[in-house]
Amino acid sequence: MPEVTRDVKKANVRELIEKNKSTINMNKIFEVAMPKILLGIAIISVLTTIGIILTLVTETVEFFTRVPFFEFFTGTELRPLSQNPQFGILPLLAGTLMSSLIAMCVAIPIGLMSAIYLSEYATEKVRKVLKPILEILAGIPTIVYGFFALTFVTPLLRSFMPGLEPSNILSPGIVMGIMIIPMVASLSEDAMSSVPKTMREGALALGATKLEVSWKVVVPAAMSGIIASFVLAISRAIGETMILTIASGSSKNFTFDVTQSIQTMTAYIVEVTGGDAPAGSTLYYSLYAVAMTLFVFTLVMNLLAQYISRKFREEY
C-alpha cells in the first residue's frame, strides 16, 4: 500500500509539473505576443491619423489650384452654387466663432460654479449623486440637442426677442453651452480636487472664509487645469455639427448679428456632403478646404490646452 501511495503521489506531482510547464509556456507566448499586438494597434492609430491628414492636404491643395488662397481666407462672399461662384470662408468663420463664443459664455460660468460647489461645498454623498447626473448631459446625442434648440429654445427666445429669426445662431450657441457644461465642470472639479487640503486648512486657519478659500486659494492653484478645460471645451464647441446644422440654418451671411441665420464650417461640410457636389468639382474640393481649416483650428486649440497645462501646472 505505501508503494501504491508513493506512485500516486509521483503521478500527481508529474501532472502538476506538466500543467505548470504548459501554463509557463502560455505566459511566455502572451508576454512575447502582447507587445507586438499593442504596437500594431498603436501603428494603426498613427497610420489612420496620417491618412486623414494626407487626404485633407492633397484635396485642399487641389482646391487652391482653382481658388486663390488669399481670396479664400479674406472673401466675405460664399456663393458656391451661383453662376460666378465665390468661395470666401469668412462667413463660415464668423458663424463658427460666434456660436463658440455664445457657448462659452454659457458653459464657463455655470461649469466653473458647478465645479467649485462639487469640490468645496458638496458632501461626499451629494457629490456622488450630482456629478453623474451632471455628466448625463454629455451622453445625450447631439441631434437631440439640435431639435431641442429648434423646437424649444428658439420659440422661447422669440417670445422675448420678436426680431429673432426662426433659424439663428443664438439658440444653438446656448444649447451648445449646455452640452459642454459637463466637460468644464468635470475637468475643473478634478483640477480643484488635486489641490492639497493643507492649503485649504492653512487659509482657514488664517481666518479666511470658505468663499475666500475657494476663490483666492483653490481656484488660482488649479488654474492650469481650469484653463485647459476651457480651451478643450472651446475646441469641442468649434467642432460641433448637428446642433448647428439643425438650428442655425444655412444662410451664408457674413454678420455678427446673433438673431440672424448664420452657417458654420461644420454645417457647411454637412450641406456639401449631403448635396449635389460632383466629385472633381470646385464645390467638392471646397469641402476639404473648409475641413482642413476646421482641423487646424481644433489642433491649435488642443495644442494650446497642452501648453497651458504644462506651463502653469503646480507641483505639490
Please name the amino acid found at residue 166.
P
pLDDT digits (tens, 9 = 90+) for 275-294: 667 777 888 888 888 889 88
Confidence of residue 203 (pLDDT cuts 50, 70, 90): confident
For the chain, give every domain's residue range.
78-311
**How many CB atoms lie under 10 A from the CB of residue 68?**
12
The reported pLDDT for the residue numbered 259 is 84
Can you identify the CATH homologous superfamily of domain 78-311? MetI-like (1.10.3720.10)
Confidence of residue 231 (pLDDT cuts 50, 70, 90): confident
Rounded to whole angstroms, the Cα distance separating 160 from 174 reads 15
pLDDT of 7 > 70? The answer is: no
Please name the amino acid found at residue 16.
L
The reported pLDDT for the residue numbered 176 is 92
Report the predicted TM-score, pTM, of the whole model to 2 decimal places: 0.81
The reported pLDDT for the residue numbered 27 is 66
pLDDT digits (tens, 9 = 90+) for 93-117: 888 889 999 999 999 999 999 899 9
Q: Positive or negative, the Cα torsion across 169, 171, 177, 182?
A: negative
pLDDT digits (tens, 9 = 90+) for 64-86: 888 888 888 888 888 877 778 78
Q: What is the DSSP string of 27-90?
A: HHHHHHHHHHHHHHHHHHHHHHHHHHHHHHHHHHHHHHTTS-HHHHHH---EETTSSS-EE--H
